[in-house]
Amino acid sequence: MWADSWQGIAYRDPGFTCGDLVRQVLARHFGVIVDGPGPVADVAGYLEGLKAAGQWIEITEPRPGDVLLMETPIGHGQAAPLHVGIMVTPCHVLHVDRNRRSCCEKISSPSIRHRIAGFYRHRKLS
């Protein structure tokens, strides 16, 4: 499976962040070239801008190649949509977090399910 070769890669900023992983997988395995957001704090706004421009569609039933937007704790009991992963199956996401290596997890796992902010599909994959 294509996702196997992307597991176990250490997070690096710059170089291999969650956004870098998603962009590289989309390009290599799905033929979709996507410019990325600048600072990680722009991920949600970036996706909203692309959605408004018609490049991304918010969806409810993910499939391989779709992007999962996730909440990240920002302190004081608050969270913001600052993390992305790419769907490997309708119920597994490939992602990389700070201080971790890239991995594939079930979206129903305790570390993912409460963080889900939305699923997005690039128009080229529709």
User: Residue 6 in contact with residue 45, Cβ under 8 Å?
Assistant: no
CATH number at residue 77: 3.90.1720.10
> What's the number of domains the chain is made of?
1
DSSP character string of 76-91 = TTEEEEEEEEEEEETT
Distance CA 21, CA 9 (A): 10
The terminus-to-terminus CA distance of the chain in angstroms comes to 21
**Does residue 73 have a cis peptide bond before it, meaning omega lies within 30 degrees of 0?**
no
pLDDT at residue 13, as a whole number: 83
pLDDT at residue 4, as a whole number: 96
The boundaries of the domain holding residue 11 are 2-125
| pTM of the predicted model as reported, rounded to 2 decimal places | 0.88
Tokens representing 35 are: 């410019």
CA 119 to chain centre: 9
Distance CA 42, CA 30 (A): 24
Q: What is the mean pLDDT of each run of 10 residues along the chain (126 residues)?
A: 95 88 93 67 61 80 95 89 93 94 97 94 91
Cα distances (Å, whole numbers) of residue 31 to 24, 34, 61: 10, 10, 21
